[in-house]
Structure 1
Amino acid sequence: MPSSTNEPGERPGTTLAIVAESLYLANLLLIPGIAFIALLVMYRRYRDAPPLAFSHIQQTISASLWAGALLIVANAMIILLGGYDGPYTWAVAITYFTMAHSTLILFGMIGLVRALAGQCWRYPLIGRPLPENCPK
């Protein structure tokens, strides 16, 4: 895990915020599960991190939980509509990846850009409330 030190001129917690958003994207795209566990470790280890870092960690964990729930719903719909050999399997899978998964990736990209800029950002609909002292 990175240290919470920042480069001169950076807002406190910027590095941790960038790592949190990167792990969120890795959880969705590259190493699901492993990156989520790393996010949970960050949450436990950096509870006293600056508001910028901790808010990004909270947002990414919340969004990851929503991503997992949406994946479970998509699989349940496939099973209810006839199983994985059923005629609606691809319709549900393509709809899920086109609408839900790509939207979550877009949210993560915006979150990463905001973290790079040293700003807090709340994920629309699924994000946790931001602390009052979080830089916007």
Structure 2
Amino acid sequence: MKHPMKILEPTTSEIRIASAAAILYLLNILLLPFIAFVLLLVLYQRQRHNVSTLVQCHLIQAMRASICAGLMLILVSIGILLFGNLHEVSTWIIFILYVLCVHSVFILFGVFALTKALSGKLYFYPLIGKSTTHGAHDGS
């Protein structure tokens, strides 16, 4: 009688670390921009050799998304303000709409990542995340 391959469920510790990465990402873009990013870097440094695919996935995704969100929000916002006329209402409308829309999308993806982490599943951010699979199956 042949036994089917058993898929290992993530441990509570792995779920806790993956969730911490997602929470730090959300804190980084919502409440504590620089502080939460530094804490995410510390968590990444401490867990970078963790063999768990779940932990690695969520750590790398949170790092990438934090850097991408920061660059997009800061650089494009600066570009809008530099190339727009600061005395025109349209420049400010474009700036506010851009920041609100892009920021909201990053928050939404962070919430998706947190719910996946809490359920012990992988999550890959759209457009920036697929190259970090390390041969793992997509859990999203």
- Which TM bucket (shorter chain)? 0.7 to 0.9
CA distance, structure 2, for counterparts of residue 115 and residue 79 of structure 1: 39
Is contact 1:51-1:134 (8 Å) kept? no
Secondary structure class of the residue paired with 1:33 = helix
Instruction: Deviation per CA, 1:62-102: give whole Å up to 9, x if none.
Output: 0111111112211221121124x543342133222332110
**Which protein is richer in helix relative to its size?**
2
TM-score if structure 1 supplies the norm length?
A: 0.83
Q: 2:61 aligns with which of 59, 62, 73?
A: 59
Which amino acid in the other structure matches residue 29 of structure 1?
L
Is contact 1:78-1:88 (8 Å) kept? no
> What number of residue pairs does the alignment pair up?
127
CA distance, structure 1, for counterparts of residue 46 and residue 88 of structure 2: 45
TM-score if structure 2 supplies the norm length?
A: 0.81
Secondary structure class of the residue paired with 2:89 = coil
Structure 2: which 5+ residue stretches go unaligned? 1-7
Is contact 1:118-1:135 (8 Å) kept? no
Cα distance change on mapping 1:103 and 1:135 into 2, 3 Å: closer
Which amino acid in the other structure matches residue 113 of structure 2?
G
Please give the root-mean-square deviation of Cα atoms over the aligned residues, in Å: 2.0
Is contact 2:57-2:133 (8 Å) kept? yes
**Identical-pair percentage:** 37
Q: Which structure: larger Rg?
A: 2
Which amino acid in the other structure matches residue 77 of structure 1?
I
CA distance, structure 1, for counterparts of residue 137 and residue 36 of structure 2: 25
1:44 aligns to what? 45
Once the two structures are superposed, the pairs formed by residues 43-122 of structure 1 within 5 Å of their partners are: 43-49=44-50, 50-71=52-73, 72-83=75-86, 85-122=87-124
2:10 aligns to what? 11
Which amino acid in the other structure matches residue 67 of structure 1?
A
Which amino acid in the other structure matches residue 76 of structure 1?
G
Structure 1: which 5+ residue stretches go unaligned? 1-8
